[in-house]
Amino acid sequence: NRSGTAVRTLGCIISIDMDLGTRNAGFQEDKSEEPTAQITKFDSEEKSDAMSLKLDTVEEYNQIKPYAGMPKEVLLLYSSQARYKVPREILFWLTVACTLALVALTITVIALSPRCLSWWQMSPVYQIYPRSFKDSDGDGVGDLKGILEQLDHFDYLNIKAVWISPFYRSPMKDFGYDVEDFRDIDPLFGTMQDFEELLAEMHKRDLKLIMDFIPNHTSDKHRWFNLSRSGDPQYRDYYVWTDCNASNPKPNNWVSIFGNSSWSYDKVRGQCYYHQFLKEQPDLNLRNPHVRKEISDLIHFWLEKGVDGFRMDAVKHIFEAEHLRDEPQVDPDKPPEEITTEWDLHHDYTTTQVGLHDLLREWRAEMDIYSREPGRYRFLVTESYDYHEIEKTMMYYSTPLVKEGDFPFNFYLLDLPQNTSGLWAKHLIDLWMSNMPNGQWANWVVGNHDRLRIGTSAGPSFIRTINMMLLSLPGTVTTYYGEEIGMQNINITQDQVQDPAGRYNVSLSRDPQRSPMQWSDDMNAGFNPKTNLTWLPIHPDYKTVNVEAQMNDASSVLAQYRYLNILRESEMPLHRGWFCHVHADARVFSYLRELDGLSRAFLVVLNFDNEPAVTDLSSIMELPSQVNVLVSTVHTNKGKSMPKSQIQTEAGEGLLIQFSSNMKFNHNHKEQCYISEKACYLEAMGILYKC
């Protein structure tokens, strides 16, 4: 009834007044029997005893199912029943098992996942020669504010790392490589505040800044040298000095990189000092622990500023033999007085001396202190021209036990124009890959501030093809400013020479490859829009070969460079997959880029000849019978379909072909394939793992 109901338990009748509470909608009355109980009054003691009795009944409780708001006694009654207890236990242990499985899977994925690529592996390194990049104040010389103005260019190209050649305070005898003060900016380029603003904006855009660092020598205007030549006890041995005769200052036959003796007499000190470059660039004595401490402090100074890495200049020259013996002549019969160039001697005592790699490893350890912050790895690349002694270059790589450089610059592709053929290209690439230590990362250079632009040395018809090769090879590309638009060397006359190396012989000048960047078809190619001043002449082709014009042309060198760079970053076979050369002849070089487990792969076909070619790759079973061109350096050939037995290329044309295959070339041709760190792709789950 509405006023109350009776519940029988243990033969007792308990009176419950329902008007004292709220009716529970989840409660269902038992309609199988009519309520016949009468309300009986008990004294307070008996009622209390009855309410405390447990419900493990003599007469089974007949409520059909639990209901919301049930008392504890009813809850306990149901929770002890198997049909409620067992599901709870099943759910509990299932939750435990799933948690453990998830933890195990996470640990497994972490353990099996290959190392993530660092920022210096994911993007080309773009070299800026600051005098020539962008002039912001109208004096005809590029500067730091000019670089700041053009940071959008790197965003457009998808460039993530920028190396800036020296901008330290300098007398500019060697355009910044003769440093007067390592802790200051030369006024020609701006101020320290300009540098800090540039660095902050670069980091805001997720751009990394690599500085040029010159540990081998200073300017003769440096404070250390002035104190050393005056005999200051603390600085006396900061440089390499020896006794010599003022009338004939040649303690031995060692020669400078720029020619003639590498010794110069200093009348203040009355001794000769050693310089492997210009006489205004005296070599530091890095055997002196105080000098090493000075260099270490300089590294800390710039790392504290926030720079992301260093390009270590001329590292093979850091030490020289203390005994100062004559170096052996290349031609033993040549008169000693005619030994005037670096090519006349075997440099057994002036390059790659004992202790060099120990010193570089010390600096690497100093840099690693700043690499502990997540995402702030500090990068180290070394410069050493070792020519035919490639084994010396490979020593700059780190080992599994000791860290040194992330990679040394690979200058061997600078020789590509000597013989533009498929066989020669294959030889130069294989030279590096076959000598590189296992697990290391490759690097490719085709031009810089000291060497001819590739557009001039190889010819403008090969610029696109060489860029395609660079951006499809494994490793990090170094792009010298202007290569992305196909800039070429300028022609200069003797009276236009700025480079000290060319003042007596214009053919030795490095000025032609240092001409101002071509931004637009405006005055001075947009390099200096304020005045009619440029420190070197502008190339006359700037009206068509400039950034602005090529941004609006889908078939331009710039458009192709940008597309390939973005593709390289997005496609795993291109940035971390296998490299397998599959064909080389007098005209064509061809290779595959593939990743185990991923069906998508790429074929690159490069014609280095001045004639069209037809390449038969029917023996490559991993290729489909018909292939489609994804990118061609001849824009009209994009999308073209052809049989693999007749892959046609025009003179100087490069093709990037994407195809799908579950067969992998590297499985059966290990001797033709290279990879830095092997990884496999689980396509069903989209997971990359070690294999």
Q: What is the pLDDT of residues 419-473, one digit of tens each?
A: 989 999 999 999 999 999 999 999 999 999 999 999 999 999 999 999 999 999 9
Kindly report which listed range (139-153, 200-214, 668-682) carries the lowest average pLDDT score. 668-682
Among all chains, which residue has been given the structure tokens 């260099």? 295
Kindly report which listed range (67-81, 375-389, 418-432) carries the lowest average pLDDT score. 67-81
Is the predicted pLDDT of residue 63 greater than 90, yes or no?
no
Of the pLDDT bands very low, low, confident and very high (cuts 50, 70, 90), residue 503 is: confident
Of the pLDDT bands very low, low, confident and very high (cuts 50, 70, 90), residue 64 is: low
Burial of 114 (0-12, 13-18, 19+ CB in 10 A): middle
How many C-beta atoms lie closer than 10 Å to residue 347's C-beta?
17
H/E element, 264: strand 263-266
CB-based contacts of 533: which residues, under 8 Å, 6+ apart? Answer: 135, 138, 139, 140, 524
Is the predicted pLDDT of residue 480 greater than 80, yes or no?
yes
Number of H helices, E strands in the chain: 18, 26
CB-based contacts of 169: which residues, under 8 Å, 6+ apart? Answer: 179, 180, 181, 184, 185, 186, 187
Our CA dihedral for 408, 413, 414, 418, rounded to 10 degrees, sits at: 150
* Catalytically annotated residue among 135, 143, 280, 313: 313
Q: Output the pLDDT for position 249.
A: 78
Among residues 349, 305, 300, the alpha carbon closest in space to that of 324 is found at: 349
Residues 508-535 have pLDDT tens digits of 899 999 999 999 999 999 999 999 999 9
Q: What would the mean pLDDT of 580-598 be, rounded to a whole number? A: 97
Is the predicted pLDDT of residue 496 greater than 90, yes or no?
yes
Our CA dihedral for 613, 614, 615, 617, rounded to 10 degrees, sits at: 170
* Catalytically annotated residue among 180, 383, 594, 622: 383
Q: What would the mean pLDDT of 631-641 be, rounded to a whole number? A: 96
Is the predicted pLDDT of residue 595 greater than 90, yes or no?
yes
Q: Output the pLDDT for position 62.
A: 53
The answer to whether residues 687 and 109 touch, using CB atoms and an 8 Å cutoff, is yes
Across 76-103, b (16+ Cβ under 10 Å) vs e yields ebeeeeeeeeeeeeeeeeeeeeeeeeee
Is 313 an active-site residue?
yes
Across 438-471, b (16+ Cβ under 10 Å) vs e yields eebbbbbbbbbbebbbbbbbbebebbbbbbbbbb
The answer to whether residues 405 and 383 touch, using CB atoms and an 8 Å cutoff, is no
Is the predicted pLDDT of residue 619 greater than 80, yes or no?
yes
Among residues 397, 399, 395, the alpha carbon closest in space to that of 386 is found at: 395
Q: Output the pLDDT for position 504.
A: 75
Of the pLDDT bands very low, low, confident and very high (cuts 50, 70, 90), residue 17 is: very low
pTM of the model: 0.86
pLDDT averaged over the chain? 90
- Which amino acid is residue 540, in one-letter code? P
Of the pLDDT bands very low, low, confident and very high (cuts 50, 70, 90), residue 255 is: very high
The answer to whether residues 518 and 525 touch, using CB atoms and an 8 Å cutoff, is yes
Whole-angstrom Cα distance, residue 59 to residue 12?
A: 11
Q: Output the pLDDT for position 373.
A: 82
- Which amino acid is residue 116, in one-letter code? C
Q: How far apart are the first and last CA of the chain?
A: 76
Residues 318-345 have pLDDT tens digits of 999 999 999 999 999 999 999 999 999 9
How many C-beta atoms lie closer than 10 Å to residue 689's C-beta?
17
- DSSP label at 360? H
Whole-angstrom Cα distance, residue 588 to residue 640?
A: 18
Q: Output the pLDDT for position 655.
A: 98
The answer to whether residues 396 and 315 touch, using CB atoms and an 8 Å cutoff, is yes
Our CA dihedral for 386, 389, 393, 399, rounded to 10 degrees, sits at: -160
Q: What would the mean pLDDT of 43-69 be, rounded to a whole number? A: 51
CA 64 to chain centre: 70
Across 238-252, b (16+ Cβ under 10 Å) vs e yields bbbbeebeeeebbbb
Is 283 an active-site residue?
no
Of the pLDDT bands very low, low, confident and very high (cuts 50, 70, 90), residue 59 is: very low
Of the pLDDT bands very low, low, confident and very high (cuts 50, 70, 90), residue 86 is: confident
CB-based contacts of 66: which residues, under 8 Å, 6+ apart? Answer: 74, 75, 78
